[in-house]
Amino acid sequence: MLKHVSFITRDLSATLAFYGRLGGVTEKDILTHEGYRRGVLRLGEGKLQFFQIAGETPQVHPRWPEHIAVYVTGLRDLLPQLRAAGVNVTRDLQPSPGGRDMAFVQDPDGRQVELLET
C-alpha cells in the first residue's frame, strides 16, 4: 500500500500554499535532523512530502529525498530476499521516526523506495 511520495522543492511555503489551494491539508512543517525543512500534506487519501534544501537545487542534490514510500509486511524477512535478487539496499534496516522497521532500496531505474513495516 502506498504511504507517500516525496519531492524536493525550492520554496516549501509556496508549495504548501499551492497544494492547499487544491484541497491539501498541511500535516507537518518541520526542520529535520539533517537541517532540511520538511512539509507533509494530506491530499485526499494520500500524502505528499516535500523537502526544501537550502542552497541546493533538485538537479544537484542526492536523490534520497525524492522517493516512493510503501508499506510492506515482514520487512525483516523481505530485505534479505531483495538483496539475494540483486536489489541495491541504500539504507539498511532501522527504526523509522515512528518506531516501525524501515529500509530504503532502489528500483530498477535507481529511484529510492522506502519500505516501511505495516
**What per-residue confidence (pLDDT) applies to 109?**
67
> Which band of pLDDT confidence, cut at 50, 70 and 90, is reported for residue 117?
very high
pLDDT-derived band at 55 (thresholds 50, 70, 90) equals: low
CA-to-CA distance for 107 and 117, rounded, in angstroms?
18
Residue 42 near residue 77, CB atoms below 8 Å? no
Looking up cell 518506531, which residue turns up?
A: 99
Q: What is the value of pTM for the model shown? A: 0.68
Q: What structural domains and CATH numbers belong to the chain?
A: 1-65 (3.10.180.10), 66-118 (3.30.720.110)
pLDDT of residue 57: 54
Average of pLDDT values for 17-31?
A: 90
